[in-house]
A and B are shown apart, each in its own frame.
Chain A
Amino acid sequence: NAGVTQTPKFQVLKTGQSMTLQCAQDMNHNSMYWYRQDPGMGLRLIYYSASEGTTDKGEVPNGYNVSRLNKREFSLRLESAAPSQTSVYFCASSDFQDSTEAFFGQGTRLTVV
């Protein structure tokens, strides 16, 4: 049982480049989330999808877009990467809309130079 799978695990981008972070879960969860983790800042919610077909902004959505492709997959896109987006990105899923007891992927370490 893979749980939540994120790809890629590491990525280096130049300023202005675009990329999409992929996330898939095999637990049949309705809700999925994207967080970023920065030193001393904990985990901050970027976007979430309460159910298939819906997406909403979280705490720090600027510079990102998301797509809930189907129930399993939730992708995060950076259209024009900036150094401030250097971070570790985590995808999570949960069985409850209120994100209690979310299960996390292993993370994507992104560096923008």
Chain B
Amino acid sequence: GQQLNQSPQSMFIQEGEDVSMNCTSSSIFNTWLWYKQDPGEGPVLLIALYKAGELTSNGRLTAQFGITRKDSFLNISASIPSDVGIYFCAGQRSNEKLTFGTGTRLTIIP
């Protein structure tokens, strides 16, 4: 099955810094989702995007559905310690199941 290319694989940042990560595919998707996984927990949905070019915010998080429909971006502003975790993108084509990216592991350096 197809995997989405997510980058970077890991990030080490200081508290207060902004974070950017992205997800790309060779195929077009109709829906892009961003999930966060805390250690020892299951993924939790952060943001859902349904239209090319759509820009959606959830507090300090902002995600965009790329206009080519082959990519998506997630930004976190002014990072705080609870932002630590693994961030997954997921894409969906019509009548198909979700395809997940390989994840971006975010670590905050004290």
Contacts and interface: CB of A to CB of B under 8 A. Distances in A.
B88 to A, nearest CB: 6
A100 B48 contact: yes
B3 interface: yes
B97 A48 contact: yes
A99 B98 contact: yes
Nearest to B50: A100
Contacts of A48: 97
Interface in A13-27: none
Contact of A101 (B6, B9, B48, B96): B48
Most chain B C-beta atoms within 10 Å of own C-beta, residue among A41, A43, A45, A99: A43
Nearest to A91: B42
Nearest to A102: B98
Interface of B: 1, 3-4, 6, 9, 31, 33, 40-45, 48, 88, 90, 92, 94-98, 100-103
23 contacts: A35-B100, A40-B9, A40-B102, A40-B103, A41-B102, A42-B102, A43-B90, A45-B98, A48-B97, A90-B42, A92-B42, A98-B95, A98-B96, A98-B97, A100-B48, A100-B92, A100-B98, A101-B33, A101-B48, A103-B45, A104-B44, A106-B40, A107-B42
